[in-house]
Amino acid sequence: MADQQGKTLVRFRNIAIATILVATLVQFLGNVGLFNNYYLHILTVIGINIILVASLNLVNGYLGEFALGHAGFMAVGAYVAALIALKIPLPALVRLPLSLLGGVVAAGVIGYLVGRVTFKTVGDYLAIITLGFNMIIVNAIQNIDYLGGPRGLTAIPKGTNLVTVAVCTVITYWILRNLVDSVYGRMWLCIRENAIAGELIGIDVNKVKNLAFTIAAAFAGLAGGLYAQYQQFITPKSFDYLKTTDILVMLYLGGMGSLSGSILGVVAYTVLMELLRNVLGMVAPQLADLRMLISPLILVLIMLTRQYGLMGNREWRWLLPDRKQAEGGDA
């Protein structure tokens, strides 16, 4: 088993290094005009979405809860990171990591506080409370002039590019894979399967649930910080329930309880949406926005036909060591 874990770790390390090197090359080619900037944009967005979806997978997949407020934590991270970048005069090399760290900490603290309240309830109340939290965050930002109100924040210094996103994505996956393959990951799976049995063997269920929720919120804040300093402007509308719906569709499309599925779901959904944008735009430009109807339709079809998504709860061998899964085997 130890030998298998060692081989998996080596494979993961090699692919992580290769990912960063390829991202660096692509970014360089884009900067000198030898790589299409549209494709560069799509790759960057995919990286940010992978961080979002993988972090939500801790709660909705491994923990077995149903949270609907992930875009709210992304908003917290985005606005905190944007304010640090705008208001604190720092060199670019210091500004970016400091602003991202601020977004991570702020989102994590808010996530911890929301989790402390939420996990005192049972059943579907988590979904209701987190959805309400998302709405509160969006509406609060709209009414705070210091945050730009409904106009949002503009002229945010650009600090995010494909290389930054690739590095953050690799770090995110390194942390999440270690958590999932640790005693905490096994406690999350135990709670997902039978919370009462978990309590009987000594697991502090609420504390362990809140740990997963806090970590997920913190990484959503990281994605928000990257997004704000990539787009260079943010508005409250960027983080409403439609964003949460997109995150959920990517998560369920890829597979619940599978970090590999998070990657697959994000890539498949993002490419599909862009293809629809281009196809509908060529056929009839006024129909381009109809692609937004496809997102909830995909979610409905997944729930009706393939509830476990494309990967189920299986993992690619380079990401996690072989384990017995509910659907059997590794991909």
- In tens, the pLDDT along 260-275 reads 999 999 999 999 888 8
- In tens, the pLDDT along 79-114 reads 999 999 999 988 888 999 999 999 999 999 999 999
Is residue 196 in a domain? yes
Is residue 184 in a domain? yes
Q: How many residues does the chain have?
A: 331
Please give the share of the chain, as a percent, with pLDDT higher than 70. Answer: 91
Which pLDDT score, from 0 to 100, does residue 294 have?
Answer: 73
Q: Which residues contact 203 (CB under 8 A, 6 or more apart)?
A: 187, 190, 191
Which pLDDT score, from 0 to 100, does residue 321 have?
Answer: 65
Range of the domain at 141: 13-241
Is residue 316 in a domain? no
Is residue 270 in a domain? no
pTM, to two decimals: 0.93
Which pLDDT score, from 0 to 100, does residue 123 have?
Answer: 67
Helices and strands, counts by H and E, the chain? 12, 0
d(CA 306, CA 43): 27
Average pLDDT over residues 240-252: 89
> How confident is the prediction for the chain on average, in pLDDT?
89
Please give the share of the chain, as a percent, with pLDDT higher than 90. Answer: 69
Question: 225 vs 304, which has greater pLDDT?
Answer: 225
Is residue 304 in a domain? no
d(CA 257, CA 221): 21
Is residue 123 in a domain? yes
- In tens, the pLDDT along 149-178 reads 999 999 999 999 999 999 999 999 999 999
Is residue 133 in a domain? yes
Q: In this structure, are residues 113 and 94 in contact, taking their beta carbons and an 8 Å threshold?
A: no
d(CA 113, CA 38): 39
SS3 119: coil
Is residue 153 in a domain? yes
Domain count, the chain: 1
Tokens in use for 120? Answer: 């005192």
- In tens, the pLDDT along 176-234 reads 999 998 999 999 999 999 999 999 999 999 999 999 999 999 999 999 999 999 999 99
